[in-house]
Structure 1
Amino acid sequence: MTMAPLPNRLYSAAQTRELDRLAIEGGVSGATLMARAGQAAFDLMLQRWPEVREPAILCGAGNNGGDGYVVARLAQEAGLRPVVYQWRPLDQLGGDALAMAEAARDAGVPMLPLNLDNLPHAAPLLVDGLLGTGISGVLREDMRALLQALDALGKPVLALDVPSGLSADSGASAGAVLGADCTITFIGVNRGLLTGVGPCHSGQLVFSGLNVDEAVYQAIPDPVWRPTPLDLRRWLPRRRRDGHKGHYGHVLVIGGDHGFAGAPSMSAQAAARCGAGLVSLATRAENLTAVLARQPEIMVRAVEDVAELEPLLERATVVAVGPGLGTGEWGQTLLKRALMTDLPLVLDADALNLLADWGVDANDHWVLTPHPGEAGRLLGSDSATVQRDRFAAVEALASRYGGAALLKGLGTLVRGGDGCALISDGNPGMGSGGMGDVLTGVIAALLAQGVPPYQAAALGAMAHARAADRAAAEHGERGLLATDLLPPLRWELNGK
């Protein structure tokens, strides 16, 4: 079975079940799909762990278990010595899963009950076909304890569809997760594998489409979009030969209260490096020398009150507010004035904290870029609640505040009027100060060049994460700084 590149469309558990149904309705039987899935998983097992002779196949009662029974039968027929550990005996199975279990039994695969008293301690590899995408809510205590015990064995794990205990929809743990070294997913990639704690538990992610016809996918509306560099090039075409700075927008960054010159300076630098025609920075007078020494192309202005901000707003085409803004009188005054414009806005950091306190009306022209803590404040909850269902949180942000909402974190999410996007690029090195300030500048630059808010947020976050991956590949994740992203961002924005 041929493995395909990871698709750019991601699905909820309900949508993947609908893909299955449509494929079957189109003439491919459920048994055929299950056989193809098991074959793909078996091929991957041989490729990834060629030395394994006695894999333990963990089989649940549903279709995920059916895939596992196919793997067991194929392993037996190939001369390996698999053992199936059953969560439920054959007389509690039905449909295609029962047929595959009976075929494995008839091929001579040994089958043992799976419980806390009978764990596969000696197995060199676990193939996880226990739960798949079927879980909702919190796990029952017996399954939670079982997954914890299996995970504690420390064995390599190949997960089928989704690591058991992981929500295919939200990417949150249902109470315990059997972490995988590799996860193979079929027909459609579940969105929870790529956000929340999903990437922490899924290991290498491999996709097999099981030869399902493309028409099946066209019948599913509104999948989650995973942006690629090709999308960025589509929205940012080659520049015209007679282009000049006036064609590419004027970004105004507002921020940098006393002692916080760095944050707005990084935003302004990023906006300039990502193609804005002009970049201005409205900040405290004490910051001028430091900003000009760092990047003389930035038109930095001392702004102590709204009157000094007015002429800068008149010339701007995009406004980014929040980096180093503070929540004092100076920051509040400038933010209130910025919110009165009809210009596209990018709001980050202290601007978001002030919004949470003020209870402002929705605005279709802005991009909000909170981390989970800021998102919790904007929604009147907390970071933990946001992380339990990041998709629900970003949907609530977009619904409450309008425009485009970008929820930072592993598997950054963007929600706007045109859909939902998930950024699968990025690395742990991005956990350092200033990364969000750079992202603010990237998004502002794309807005200045005419990209609509939702696309600017999604493509900006993708370019930002890919730039971090480039920088980490060259020098390592540890010690990665926000300004290290500026040179590779130019490469990303130029399609190199």
Structure 2
Amino acid sequence: MPSVGEPSDAAPLWAYRASEMRQLDARLMAREHIDDYTLMRRAGRAAFFRLRRHWPQRRRLGVICGPGNNGGDGYVIAALARAWGLSVRLWAMAPVESLRGAARRAAQDFLASDGQIEPLDAGSLRTADVDAWVDALFGTGLARPASGVAHDVISTLNAHPAPVLAIDTPSGLCTDTGVMRGIAVQAAMTVSFIAPKPGLYTGAGPDCCGTLILDRLGAPDDLGAGLPGACRLWPADTPPEMLLPPRSPTAHKGQFGHVLVVGGGVGMAGAARMAAEAALRVGAGLVSVATAPEHAAAAGIGRPELMVAGIQTAEDLAPLLARSTVRALGPGLGRSSWSEQLFSATLAAPGPLVVDADGLNLLAECPCWRENWILTPHPAEAARLLGVTTAEIQADRLAAVRALTDRYGGVALLKGAGTLIDDGQQIALCAGANPGLASGGMGDVLTGLAAGLLAQGLAPVAAARGAVRLQLHAGAHAAQTLGHAGMLASDVLDRIAPLLALPEIRP
């Protein structure tokens, strides 16, 4: 059973910006007729008992308290730790007399328990005999890069051998965007409260947070009613969303669409092949590959279910475009005059489309708007599509994915840790980061999965979301036996069909 206040299922949740989180705090206090100190004690207790559950052998605690309410959480934790017989050293960024409200009361309670407060100094942290740290320095309250003592403290925590528990947010991480403000705590575990914050799940968030736990502190499901929210969060354990109807016993292949993969320029046949096989594995009825003539004979070896055609000109492509119902444009396409011909001919054909890789690079040179496509850029491709730098994309991934749909229409799928999917109406954040997916061919597999789901009648946004969830789950299965280093795109492919058979993701 989940603990009190913890989500009881893997349903998508709204994720909220820092300004909205302050409103949620106020709503929760009003609903439960409690003050901010009671809510602070509730948060501190939740974090402390998570710490004890995860690290029961660690009994020498170092607590770093900042000048705001995040620091107040730290004082609550420190007092609880003393009551449980742990050794506690507490360093404070500000004197107790300068604290306000609930934070000051929490600090006074810690002092009343005979706790001692030391002024914050990176030098004393380096030599401290502690076996676990609590980061209660800034939480969501840091609006600029840490500097001076704060910068030195974060750097010291990151270099210390003892693990760090971050309270609500690793200090230095922007909860709205997932960007590190200069430097951020690299926590082993983060306990966040009430509702998800998008920056914990995308950008640098997964690196900074470590194991991320959301404790809702008793917040009801409708607490955020009327607030816009930044995005919908699909937690990492959400089963792949398969909106396909059950197949009739008399079904035939023509009912499940015909995907045409256009790509595989000279030297890059493997990309088109992997996209095509992914479309087959996810259930497309027919899959064709339009590739360079040099590759046609070899592209289908080992996968005779694929129909492979060597294409020399746009005219050669026309019959394949006419027969197919969905196209996947870009895997291994290249940037030659041959590529440009196939790109233009494919864009001119009606029907749903998934665009990836060099298809996106060519689109950046000839922008157009379309309703029925899915664009699947990684950050560098997104930067080219929007005419900005990769750093600007990563500085605000949610704004970037919305800018893509504003400029190009359809559905934008911004890859990376915490993949974002936007249909122009609502952004979905698919939590889950698997470093094993950081290798060649994984994007081609994702493209094929999305195209295969489109071919079976899913709306573009549902196909994009389903493809991401399937790849994440297949990658997690592969990592269990293979680890992350050396995981291949074909290893993920091999696990797609077994996943579709699992009862929890059948329609």
Please give the TM-score of this superposition, normalised by the length of structure 1: 0.95
Counterpart position of 1:46: 52
SS at structure 1 position matched to 2:129: coil
Per-residue CA distance 1:35-56 (angstroms, 9 max, x = gap): 1111111111211222333312
Counterpart position of 2:173: 166
The equivalences for 1:66-77 within 5 A come to 66-77=72-83
CA distance in 2 between partners of 1:141 and 1:279 (Å):
59
* Structure 1 residue 349 corresponds to structure 2 residue 373: no
Structure 1 residue 478 displacement after superposition: 1.9
Distance 1:491 1:19, change over 3 A: farther
Distance 1:233 1:239, change over 3 A: farther
Which residue identity lines up with residue 22 of structure 2 in the other structure? R
Asked if structure 2 preserves the Cα contact closer than 8 Å seen for 1:264 and 1:324, the reply is yes
Counterpart position of 2:12: 8
Counterpart position of 1:340: 348
CA distance in 1 between partners of 2:376 and 2:136 (Å):
38
Match for residue 377 of structure 2 among 364, 370, 390: 370
Match for residue 97 of structure 1 among 103, 110, 113: 103
Distance 1:37 1:173, change over 3 A: same
CA distance in 2 between partners of 1:141 and 1:364 (Å):
50
Counterpart position of 2:243: 235
Structure 1 residue 296 displacement after superposition: 1.0
Distance 1:137 1:444, change over 3 A: farther
Asked if structure 1 preserves the Cα contact closer than 8 Å seen for 2:334 and 2:358, the reply is yes
* Structure 1 residue 27 corresponds to structure 2 residue 29: no
SS at structure 1 position matched to 2:141: coil
Match for residue 151 of structure 1 among 152, 158, 162: 158
Per-residue CA distance 1:270-290 (angstroms, 9 max, x = gap): 001111111111112222221
Counterpart position of 1:432: 439
SS at structure 1 position matched to 2:139: coil
Structure 1 residue 364 displacement after superposition: 1.5
| More displaced stretch, 343-352 vs 226-235 | 226-235
Asked if structure 1 preserves the Cα contact closer than 8 Å seen for 2:172 and 2:182, the reply is yes
Structure 1 residue 146 displacement after superposition: 2.6
Kindly report the root-mean-square deviation, in angstroms, between the aligned alpha carbons of the 2 structures.
Answer: 1.9
Counterpart position of 2:453: 446
Per-residue CA distance 1:53-81 (angstroms, 9 max, x = gap): 33121111211111111111111222223
CA distance in 1 between partners of 2:324 and 2:19 (Å):
45
Asked if structure 1 preserves the Cα contact closer than 8 Å seen for 2:264 and 2:291, the reply is yes
The equivalences for 1:64-143 within 5 A come to 64-119=70-125, 121-143=128-150
Asked if structure 2 preserves the Cα contact closer than 8 Å seen for 1:292 and 1:298, the reply is yes
Structure 2: gaps of 5 or more residues: none
Q: Percent identity?
A: 42
Structure 1 residue 264 displacement after superposition: 0.5
CA distance in 2 between partners of 1:227 and 1:203 (Å):
18
Distance 1:282 1:450, change over 3 A: same
Which residue identity lines up with residue 155 of structure 1 in the other structure? A
Distance 1:231 1:223, change over 3 A: farther
* Structure 1 residue 312 corresponds to structure 2 residue 320: yes
CA distance in 2 between partners of 1:8 and 1:127 (Å):
29
SS at structure 2 position matched to 1:159: strand
Counterpart position of 2:276: 268
CA distance in 1 between partners of 2:49 and 2:251 (Å):
53
Distance 1:92 1:141, change over 3 A: same
Asked if structure 2 preserves the Cα contact closer than 8 Å seen for 1:425 and 1:462, the reply is no
CA distance in 2 between partners of 1:234 and 1:292 (Å):
28
Structure 1 residue 230 displacement after superposition: 6.1
| More displaced stretch, 27-36 vs 293-302 | 27-36
CA distance in 2 between partners of 1:374 and 1:141 (Å):
37
Which residue identity lines up with residue 55 of structure 2 in the other structure? W
Per-residue CA distance 1:140-180 (angstroms, 9 max, x = gap): 34422331133223321111001111111111110111211
Counterpart position of 2:303: 295
Asked if structure 1 preserves the Cα contact closer than 8 Å seen for 2:377 and 2:414, the reply is yes
| More displaced stretch, 473-482 vs 117-126 | 117-126
Structure 1 residue 425 displacement after superposition: 2.9
Which residue identity lines up with residue 312 of structure 1 in the other structure? L
Which residue identity lines up with residue 22 of structure 1 in the other structure? R
Asked if structure 1 preserves the Cα contact closer than 8 Å seen for 2:378 and 2:416, the reply is yes
Match for residue 17 of structure 1 among 18, 22, 38: 22
Counterpart position of 2:476: 469
Which residue identity lines up with residue 255 of structure 1 in the other structure? G
Please give the TM-score of this superposition, normalised by the length of structure 2: 0.93
SS at structure 1 position matched to 2:140: coil
CA distance in 2 between partners of 1:52 and 1:487 (Å):
41
Which residue identity lines up with residue 8 of structure 1 in the other structure? P
SS at structure 2 position matched to 1:84: strand
Asked if structure 1 preserves the Cα contact closer than 8 Å seen for 2:326 and 2:451, the reply is yes
- How many residue pairs get aligned? The number is 495
Structure 1 residue 28 displacement after superposition: 3.9
Asked if structure 2 preserves the Cα contact closer than 8 Å seen for 1:426 and 1:468, the reply is no
* Structure 1 residue 220 corresponds to structure 2 residue 224: no
* Structure 1 residue 207 corresponds to structure 2 residue 251: no
Distance 1:326 1:61, change over 3 A: same
CA distance in 1 between partners of 2:391 and 2:63 (Å):
34
CA distance in 2 between partners of 1:326 and 1:393 (Å):
25
Distance 1:418 1:193, change over 3 A: same
Asked if structure 2 preserves the Cα contact closer than 8 Å seen for 1:362 and 1:400, the reply is yes
| More displaced stretch, 241-250 vs 166-175 | 241-250
Structure 1 residue 240 displacement after superposition: 2.6
Structure 1: gaps of 5 or more residues: none
SS at structure 2 position matched to 1:422: strand
CA distance in 2 between partners of 1:125 and 1:439 (Å):
40
Per-residue CA distance 1:262-319 (angstroms, 9 max, x = gap): 1101110100111111111111222222122131111112221122211111121111
CA distance in 2 between partners of 1:8 and 1:63 (Å):
28
Asked if structure 2 preserves the Cα contact closer than 8 Å seen for 1:246 and 1:277, the reply is yes
